[in-house]
Amino acid sequence: MALLWIEGFEAFGTTNGVAPDGIATKYSINERVPLTDIQAGRLAGKSWYGNTGSAPTITTQYLGTPQTWVMGIGIKFDSQPVTDTFINTYDINGAQGMNFRLYYTGSAIEIRAYRGGTLLGTSSGANLSTATWYYMEFKCKIDNSTGTVDIRVDGANVLSLSSQDTQNGSVSSTSKWSLTSSGATPRWFWYDDWYILDNTGSDNNDFIGDHRVDLLLPNAAGDSTDWTPDSGSNYDRVNDNPPDEDSSYVESGTSTDRDLYNFQSTPGLSAVKGLQLNIMARETDAEIFSVKPVVKSSTTTDVGTAIPGGMGSDYATVAVIVEQNPHTSAAWTDSELNSAQFGIEVA
């Protein structure tokens, strides 16, 4: 697998200006995040707007230990930054790794690449302005001596470093990524259309350029309806935006019970780089349980591996990447995606 993470910030509410409900079930957050907003997105949908002080920060789940990784994200900022960190990375031990900061020189806004607190390089020709959306991409190889850093803005290379010490901790890999808005008023950031990948596999193993992330919600029952809804139809209990936790749900304690759902159609996509199933669940008794993601495409039903570690008594959202159509073993097409079903099974 190459694709590790997708986020469009569409599933945390539909009303601009409302704090992002449900974000804490998917990300590790600091205390300032509940004061931030969801706002209009870069191309469509929504974005996360870190419009508060004390550096609101969201951190991904554990995404493995890639040595080489690529991430892309849409970003906009309110006013000229000073030295504002906006992307941080951490290794499996929690040590800060590569991080990226915006710096205003007095005549230009630069992107600076750091290993921990050590400056490695500064962008050239980025020509950044306030109140403007940019699509930034970052590629790093983590190593004590052969590390590399590449940064692109709207497809143009603005920094290339080689033979660098990019390893700040004791391991040559990265496991978590975080987004941070400035801790100073009013230097606040918008974020949208986020992807992270590594350099393995035959697809999605290098820069993929400007892409958008769309949210699709269940809109009809699929071919399996084994889970029990608290009322009404199964699919209608799991399609809230933002999620309403115990106000509407489906439940099951029986191994192999499966729920499948049909989903809304896409807005029309020329290419699909991958899907991310966001499964939000909790346990309701003392029995340890796990769930499995399920994809049905044409005549193929693919049941994924059980989410490790089971679920706790508090709601948590686990993100599962489905990079290829299991029926064709190739990238999804728009029509294949629109006819597929997705769901869950009790492990």
Q: Which of 8, 92, 93 is nearest to 46 (CA)?
A: 8
Q: Helix-strand-coil percent breakdown of the chain, rounded to 5? A: 5, 45, 50
Residue 335 phi/psi, 5-degree rounding, is -70, -35
Domain spanning 3-198, CATH class: mainly beta
- Per-residue pLDDT at 309: 62
* Token output for 188: 């606040």
What pLDDT score was predicted for residue 1?
61
pLDDT by residue, tens only, the chain of 347 residues: 699 999 999 999 999 998 898 999 999 999 999 999 999 999 999 999 999 989 999 999 999 999 999 999 999 999 999 999 999 999 999 999 999 999 999 999 999 999 999 999 999 999 899 999 999 999 999 999 999 999 999 999 999 999 999 999 999 999 999 999 998 888 999 999 999 999 999 999 999 999 999 999 999 999 999 999 999 999 999 999 999 999 999 999 999 999 999 999 999 988 999 999 999 999 888 777 889 999 999 999 999 999 876 678 899 999 999 999 999 999 999 999 999 999 999 99
Check if the beta carbon of residue 243 is closer than 8 Å to that of residue 22: yes
Rounded distance between C-alpha atoms, residue 224 and residue 260, angstroms? 5
Interatomic CA distance for residues 166 and 224, integer angstroms: 49
Q: What was the pLDDT predicted at 139?
A: 98
Backbone angles phi, psi at 124, to 5 degrees: -135, 130
Q: Is the pTM of this model over 0.85?
A: yes
pLDDT of 286 reads 79
Strand partners, 39: 47
How far apart are the C-alpha atoms of 341 and 90, rounded to whole Å?
35
Residue type, 111: I
Distance between CA atoms of 309 and 53, rounded to whole angstroms? 35
With vertex at residue 238, the alpha carbon angle to CA 329 and CA 193, rounded to the nearest 5 degrees, is 55
What is residue 183's predicted lDDT score, i.e. its pLDDT? 85
Residue-level pLDDT at 161: 98
Helices (H), the chain: 334-339
Q: What are phi and psi of 49, to 5 degrees?
A: -115, 110
